[in-house]
Amino acid sequence: MEIMKKKNSQPAWRKYTFVALIIALLACISTALLGATKGVIALGLYTIESPERLTNALFASIGFLIIGLAVYAFLEPAKVQRSLTGRQAKYGGNTFIAVIAFTLTLIIVNFLAYDNPTQVADLTEDQANTLAPEMVAALEALPDKVTATAFFSQNRSTESAEQLFGNLKANSNNKFDYQFVDPNRDPQRAREAGITGDGKVLLQMGDRSEIAASATESEILKGMIRLINPDERVVYFLTGHGERDPERINEDNTSLTRAGTTLKSKNYGVKSLSLLAENKVPEDADVIIIAGPQRPVSQKEVELLREFLNGGGSLLVMEDPIILTDFGEASDPLNAMLAEDWGITLNNDFVIDLESSDPRLGIGFSESYDTGHPITSQIFNLDSFFPLTRSLTLDFSNQGLQLNQLVSTTDRSWGEKDFDSLSEAGWPPSYDETTEILGPLALAAASENLATGGRVVVFGTSQFASDQVFDSGYGNSDLFINSVDWAAEQEDIANITPKQPVTRAFQPASQLRILMLMLIVGLVIPGIFVALGVVTWLQRRRQG
């Protein structure tokens, strides 16, 4: 009876000690899980959209762990004292305290390193992990916070992008943040952002946005400078000749709406222009695009374009094979002007490419790209897809032009001129060495007037930039956008001083060194610990 009274006489708040222990246990488990997750993310094995939430959750879990233990110690001080002064604590206390102290030191050091990334030292010989001075200056000049959304599929490594973005964030004074989005899992978001392909980065600052072609320091810097200097570049699409429309979608996906959307996302103003109606080129025009005219551009319009180019303007021409247009036997003043003034002639042929699964579909292999030209230097290993194209002939005799053959076919192609052989009845065509040109054939070219600064880019097809193939996974979208950027003189707004890579050679160890290493690891180091154990055992035996 007395015992029951003693039990009932215990303070009511003692029951909360069990609750405090449960809270501490759950907090300990969650802290371990969250800490492990943070470690996996730090190693680049996994990414999340909001790493700040994970950090906040980890701190909250640690807080609950400390509160739970503190409440228990406050309510049961006697038990805590006995556990700390008992026989087991006497022999294991020092080890336990050492382990706890070491663990806490590691936690504190890691949190300080994570929350103060600007203190990270670059120990590489060539300073490969140090931002270029131009990038540091751009970060300091940011008037507002920039958020980078990197569209990387699950199959694409994010390691280098994570390292670059982390470095940018660390040096931005909280003016740069980033997240990763899988375009395959969230295609709507990629479409709304104007993203085509994998590995692109959307940079946003306020209501302005720019798209970086890749997650490299040079491309990110170009995008940032465009955000800092938000002057809109204006692109006009010529109308009145049955050209492809950048604004309206049609049923067969032959429009250029994906190209137009991407240009708008890169801060281009996209407008239409009828030279026959306006009788002049607008003063705000940076680039005029002629996308697949079905009828010839008139001589009067060509003269207006020539005047625009002579004043330093730029022109992007995409003319399909004549057999696919309504040109018929009519003359082509635009082609004549391109040949006379810019050294580029659109041939009256149809490219047959035996390297393609369908010979009527020309393939511009990445190995044929002009890696020294800004339009094709950043496309890397992406081949281009040129369905239903004609070839180009380049005349390099004009010393006042910088003329480049951007993309070409292989030697298993030719420019077919017997159009009857392209029909179902006449198929397959064959190469005629007397009248036809054997590959490699030029599919795209760029020309710059060194005196006036005028620029021209010419493609033998407009189909390559249509909605049907723009997002095909080939290099078509990059090729088109890069062409507009170059024509608008936006390809070289920022030059990063290249780092000189350090050549390192691996010297394999000799057989003798490998044997010595195996002996040290397998025998010497374990032997030292065995010897220390034997000595300790003998000393204790002597002491009784």
Per DSSP, the residues of 427-448 read: PSP---TTTSPBSS-EEEEEEE
Q: Tell me the average pLDDT across 198-226.
A: 88
Of 89-103, 310-324, 335-349, 492-506, which gets the smallest average pLDDT? 492-506
- Is the Cα torsion angle 214, 220, 222, 226 positive or negative in sign? positive
| CB within 8 Å of 222: residues ≥ 6 apart | 212, 490, 493, 494
Query: Is residue 445 exposed (0-12), middle (13-18) or buried (19+ Cβ within 10 Å)?
Result: buried
Average pLDDT over residues 324-351: 95
Residue 401's φ and ψ, nearest 5 degrees, are -115, 145
The yes-or-no verdict on residue 12 having pLDDT over 70 is: no
HSE on the CB side for 517, CA within 13 Å? 6
- The least confident of 7-11, 129-133, 218-222 is 7-11
Q: Is the pLDDT of residue 241 over 80?
A: yes
The per-residue pLDDT for range 254-270, each reduced to its tens digit, is 899 999 988 887 778 99
Count, residues in the chain: 544
Does residue 292 have a pLDDT over 80?
Answer: yes
In this prediction, residue 33 carries a pLDDT of 73
DSSP assignment of 19-59: HHHHHHHHHHHHHHHHHHHHHHHHTTS---S-HHHHHHHHH
pTM metric for this prediction: 0.61
Written as six digits, the tokens of 209 are 């946005």
Segment 374-397 mean pLDDT: 87
What confidence score (pLDDT) does residue 348 get?
Answer: 95
For 14-27, the pLDDT digits (tens) are 666 777 777 877 87
Q: Over 60: is that where the pLDDT of 101 sits?
A: no
Average pLDDT score over residue span 191-216: 88
Q: What is the pLDDT of residue 503?
A: 47
Confidence of residue 333 (pLDDT cuts 50, 70, 90): very high
| CATH fold label, 133-209 | Glutaredoxin (3.40.30)
Maximal C-alpha separation, the chain = 121
Q: Residue 535: pLDDT above 70?
A: no
Domain 232-487 top-level CATH class: alpha beta
pLDDT of 502 above 90: no
Nearest to 323 by CA among 429, 409, 446, 248: 429
Mean pLDDT of 161-172: 90
- Round to whole Å and give the CA distance between 123 and 366: 36
The predicted structure's pLDDT at residue 103: 56
- What distance in Å separates the CA atoms of residue 394 and residue 442, rounded to the nearest whole number? 8
Q: What is residue 68's predicted lDDT score, i.e. its pLDDT?
A: 74
**pLDDT over threshold 80, residue 416:** yes
Which whole-number Å values give the CA distances from 376 to 213, 233, 402, 444, in the listed order? 12, 21, 15, 10
Return the higher-pLDDT residue of 109 and 388: 388
User: Which two structure tokens, joined as six digits, stand for 128?
Assistant: 């490969």
Average pLDDT, the chain: 80
Could you give the percent of the chain with pLDDT greater than 90? Answer: 33
Q: In terms of pLDDT, which residue wins out, 128 or 481?
A: 481
Helix (H, G, I), strand (E, B) or coil at 455: strand
Top mean pLDDT of 176-180, 205-209, 500-504 is at 176-180
The span from the CA of 103 to the CA of 89, in Å, is: 19
Question: Alpha-carbon distance 394 to 404, whole Å?
Answer: 8
